[in-house]
Chains A and B, each alone.
Chain A
Amino acid sequence: MLWIRLGLKELIKNRGFALFFILNLTLGFAGFIAIHSFGRSLNRHLDDNLKNILTADLVVSSNRALEPKDLELINTVLGAKKQQARLISFYTMVRAGQNARLIRVMAIDNFYPLYGKFSLEKSSEIKSIQNTPGVFMTRDTAYVLGLRGKADKNFPITLGSKTFHIADFFVDDPDTSLTAVELAPKIYMGIDQLSDTGLIQFGSRIRYSRYFRFEPDADVPILVNTLRQEYAKAFPGQKRVNIYDSRDVNRRLDRLTRYFTGYMGLVSVVSLFLAGIATAYLFRGYLNLKQQEMAVLMSIGARHHEIWLYLSIQLIILGLIASILSIIISLALVPAFPVIFQGLIPDQVNLRTDPATIILALGLGTIGSMIFCLPVFVRLFAIKPLMLLRGTSDSIKKNTQQSVRQLASIIPGLAAFLLISIFAAGSMKNGIIFVVGFAIALAFLSLIGWLLLSACKRISHTRITVAKIAFRNLFRNKWASLSCFVTIAMGAFLISLIPQIQQGLQNEIVRPEGLKIPAFFLVDIQDEQKTPFIEFMQNQEGELANLSPMIRGRITTKNQQPFRHEVRQSDDRPRRRGGHRLEFNFSYRKDLDVSETIVQGDPLSTTPWNFESKRPFEISVEQSFAERYNIQIGDFLGFEIQGLPFEGQVKNLRKIRWNSFQPNFFLLFQNGVLNDAPKTFLAAISNVPLSKRQDLKNRIVDAFPNVSVIDVTQMAGTLLGITNKLSLSIRFMAWLAIAAGLISIFSIARHEAWKNENQINLLKILGSKFSEIQAITLLEFGFIGFTAALSAILLSYAFSWAVSLYFFDSLWQINLTLSFLILFLTTGVCMFTAFTASRKVMKSKPMRLLENEN
């Protein structure tokens, strides 16, 4: 109790230190806790609604209609005690009046959904769309199709060769997964109405799903596993169906949640780190001030561990207060995230801070503050009551043991930083990459800071008194100045880096360099439609390009070994249970597209391959695909296409710019291999003026109802919308980091000012004017702010260039206006903050010097 009482008294006495310590920690923790709280709320929502999201206990789906032998196997394994529902889904064009648009058809039977329900405006029954050609859609979809007034409700909607009407509008549908990222809005129709549309043709990309619901006591995971095993036994080496349950949905949604919260979490770690630097610095100053008192306590009988306890209690109290405040702030921040992510996450997420988050916050507050301050804490070992007789300066001399202790004390902090980063990123790999990147940035900025501060010694050799004193202060207080420099630089680095990368991303999406972005991307052109389509396009405005054949097939072997065992072990990307993908789309072309470049190997032979030659044909493999499946040049790959076996050899690896929206494929075969195989075609149409696009879309839908037309501009808009939301959220967290940085600067500047109080008063006694003393502070912090921001901006250029080289094919552009803005704002804010922080000291009377001496 004595040490708690003493600790509390000490904190009350040192309110300034306590306030800034708490403020630093609070801002550092707040973002992190808010992200965590939001992530947990989202996960909880998804966990609670898994069956509703899946709409069943178990789903079997395939890209071909289930055959009687499939159904027999499924029924044998799953037994009789089950309900089932059917869904056939695919993308196609819908035509309503003068509008045509890509939509996702959801053809359902009477039993869909097995869990969850439709929320329909007129509470229509599902069977109302089974017997009549009616559809359910949202009012938004209807609006996009041009159906605006009530009178439009009976307006004909053409799907393929059949005309439908709107049976009802739904507000919510059972398929409540994260739908905003989807390509097109949904339209529900009766499954029995599908056959008359003529939309299901060879090569159409259609998903056939069967949903099953069991009795409440059924063991679904066992049923899933048994069904998978029975499938593997009955159809060895074939991947006929996908079987999944709510655990798979959970895994998928968990990945999405991590994607949303991971980046923001990592940025919040930066503010935590900046706060850590500042708190350690503040604590160091506090400990320096208090070491005499601790020596007094030791001289009257306190033991080392009691002094530890005395200080730990103070840190724990401060940490706890910071935790509580950060929980309160995070409660205010969390409601902002659904606004930021509107459309990307479910609407009805119940946001609340759960006990786990509160425990995390309190843990961070108590253990976190101890870990931050540990390197300073170990200095306690060096405090001896002898200093009371000899004076302070020679009492803390480092010996080897203390140096080792000092170095070892940094390890828990680094380990905690790594763990928190992995935790925030939701991935070991991303967490480590982040920490390594962060460490590089930190090391670079620290080195630059150290060199600059060392250079201050030379700059201080001047006749201008203000500059002499300011620069001398900088290099003589290197630790403090470096803390300031690094804190500001890391904040400015973040602020500069994020828009820099975003600009690259936007440029890449909107107008990739050297590429002609098409207006439309066409899918599912049938073989027999190829010539009519080419002729059709000759009479239209717009340029048909890259009409590419697409043949579906399986990869069976790699170098005579079964293909499924060849997947790279180090690939830690989560995969669906039940094996990886075995079916792929193949193509062939005479010349490579401009979006493709060969990065390794030689071009494919232009001589058509002869089936009778008995020699393997040549294959071109996309680079990332080759990496994922560990495919190298010279490897032999076995294929099964339309039931026929083939063997080819990898001739080259290609890099593809997927954002070009051109028809591209993971595997290209030598000319002659696939020419006679049944196929569909993909194509792109470019050079269509914006005003003519809808007309052309309508004409294509009228002439070729089965062809899906993807509006690339719309697609790019959706992608940009998502990146904007993500970058907004990251910037939001970056500003929080900057706020934490500014509080750090304020704390450090204030502390430095108090430390220099005697010097300031002495200068006054020696005749310096207030403006001169003011100029010294402004010059000191202005120099730090300017050089830190400049270094940070230059480093952010290097980082963003590296990122663009890696992710965006080196499309990189400097945003000079923003850089100048960051440079001058940072400098200005630093000067203002430091001036405000030290104003009180500057205004103190020189009398204080005499008081302090006494």
Chain B
Amino acid sequence: MILELKNICKSFHQPRSGRIEVLNQINFSLDAGETTAVTGQSGSGKTTLLSLIAGLDNPDTGQILLQGEDLCSMNEDRLSRYRAMKIGVIFQQFHLMPHLSARENISLPLEILKQQHIPDRVDGMLINIGLQDRQHHLPGQLSGGECQRVAIARALIIKPALLLADEPTGNLDIKTGEKIAGLLFDLVKKENKTLILVTHNPDLAGQCQTTLKLKQGRLKQDQLEQKNPARENPA
């Protein structure tokens, strides 16, 4: 088991409506190499769940164990480093550094972690995402699809134990979205990564091995681990 969430609860205080429970008693676990989609209506708590798993926020109660280590017990700086080494995050808005080229954006996490053989690893990743010709372009000079490829490469370059994607095709047209989804799943399979993908898109969710449906902050028991038939035996 690579990830385990135990009794996760999260609520927010709203000035007018008081305390709102966003996540309530969330329990689930994932094995290495597993791909999971988190779906649900707007406001169902998908993004909150993703932010907790990414260690960007703390739950009110419960534990999040990644490779056996409790994220909730780490301080900000340790969490930052742990996240950098173990978790890759892909955002809907790409969130690339605008003044860095595609190549520099991809190499940035490795430089922060002071890793070895950076140029070789970046070259390999650029080939994987097919952007060798555009590697010196700034994000402003790239298309949306190309930006998301760079974001995927930046998330994968550190060889994370867990890959999190927040609506990775939400900002792209259908055709580009399909291409990016294809690339993402190919790379995840190739690198044998565990993926949690938050999406509204049933087609995208359908490409994951399992789907978690959130409704009003709860995972419904009967839908807790719905296997996607299409992906059950991907071969």
Report A's interface with B, CB cutoff 8 A.
2, 6, 9-10, 12-13, 292-293, 295-306, 384-386, 388-390
Contact = CB atoms under 8 A, between A and B. Distances in A.
Given A304-B76, A385-B56, A388-B91, A9 B100 contact: yes
Interface in B196-223: none
A389 B166 contact: yes
Given A10-B99, A299-B95, A306-B112, 10 more contacts: A9-B99, A295-B95, A296-B95, A302-B80, A303-B80, A384-B56, A388-B89, A388-B93, A389-B54, A389-B166
Nearest to B107: A2
Nearest to A300: B109
A638 B89 CA distance: 90
Contacts of B54: 299, 389
Which of A6, A292, A304, A389 has the most C-beta atoms of chain B within 10 angstroms of its own C-beta? A389
B80 A298 contact: yes
Given A9-B99, A388-B91, A389-B51, A300 B108 contact: yes
A847 to B, nearest CB: 15
A297 B54 CA distance: 14
A293 B108 CA distance: 13
Contacts of B93: 388
A730 B76 CA distance: 52
9 contacts: A292-B95, A293-B98, A295-B95, A299-B56, A299-B83, A300-B154, A303-B77, A304-B77, A384-B56
B57 interface: yes
A385 B108 CA distance: 16
Given A299-B89, A301-B113, A390 B98 contact: no
A771 to B, nearest CB: 33
Given A299-B83, A300-B84, A302-B80, A386 B51 contact: yes
Contacts of B166: 389
Contact of B97 (A293, A304, A384): A293
Contact of A302 (B89, B95, B112, B158): B112
Interface string B41-60: 00000010011001011000
Nearest to A387: B56
Q: B interface, how many residues as a size bin?
A: 20 to 34
Interface in B80-109: 80-81, 83-85, 89, 91, 93, 95-100, 108-109
Contacts of B51: 386, 389-390
B111 interface: yes
A388 B95 contact: yes
Contacts of B96: 296
Contact of B112 (A9, A300, A304): A300
B76 A301 contact: no
Contacts of A301: 80-81, 83-85, 109, 112-113, 158
Contacts of B56: 299, 384-386, 388-389
Across the A-B interface, give the 4 residue pairs with the lowest CB-CB distance, nearest first: A301-B84, A13-B99, A386-B56, A300-B109
Contacts of B91: 388-389
Contacts of A303: 76-77, 80-81
Contacts of A306: 112
A305 B108 CA distance: 17
A298 B97 CA distance: 12
Contacts, number: 73
Nearest to A295: B95
Contacts of B80: 298, 301-304
B111 to A, nearest CB: 5
B84 A390 contact: no
Contacts of A389: 47, 50-51, 54, 56, 91, 166
Which of B47, B77, B111, B158 has the most C-beta atoms of chain A within 10 angstroms of its own C-beta? B111
Nearest to A307: B80
Contacts of A296: 95-97
A2 B47 contact: no
Nearest to B78: A303
Contacts of A297: 97, 108, 112
A347 B138 CA distance: 60
A382 to B, nearest CB: 12
A6 to B, nearest CB: 8
A735 to B, nearest CB: 38
A5 to B, nearest CB: 9
A390 B76 CA distance: 19
Contacts of A300: 84, 89, 108-109, 112, 154
A12 B166 CA distance: 31
Nearest to B93: A388
A2 B111 contact: yes
Nearest to B157: A300
B229 to A, nearest CB: 30
Nearest to A293: B97
Interface string B104-145: 000011011100000000000000000000000000000000
A2 B99 contact: no
B111 A386 contact: no
B32 to A, nearest CB: 22
Which of B56, B57, B81, B109 has the most C-beta atoms of chain A within 10 angstroms of its own C-beta? B56
Contacts of B97: 6, 293, 296-297
A10 B166 CA distance: 27
Nearest to A9: B99
A591 to B, nearest CB: 77
A10 B57 CA distance: 28
Contacts of B85: 301
B148 to A, nearest CB: 14
A2 B89 contact: no
Nearest to B77: A303
B22 to A, nearest CB: 11
A49 B17 CA distance: 79
Which of B77, B89, B95, B98 has the most C-beta atoms of chain A within 10 angstroms of its own C-beta? B95
A756 B56 CA distance: 31
Nearest to A384: B56
A10 B100 CA distance: 9
A249 B93 CA distance: 72
A12 B100 CA distance: 11
Contacts of A302: 80, 84, 112
Contacts of B77: 303-305
A555 B56 CA distance: 80
A526 B36 CA distance: 114
Interface in B138-163: 154, 158
A50 to B, nearest CB: 57
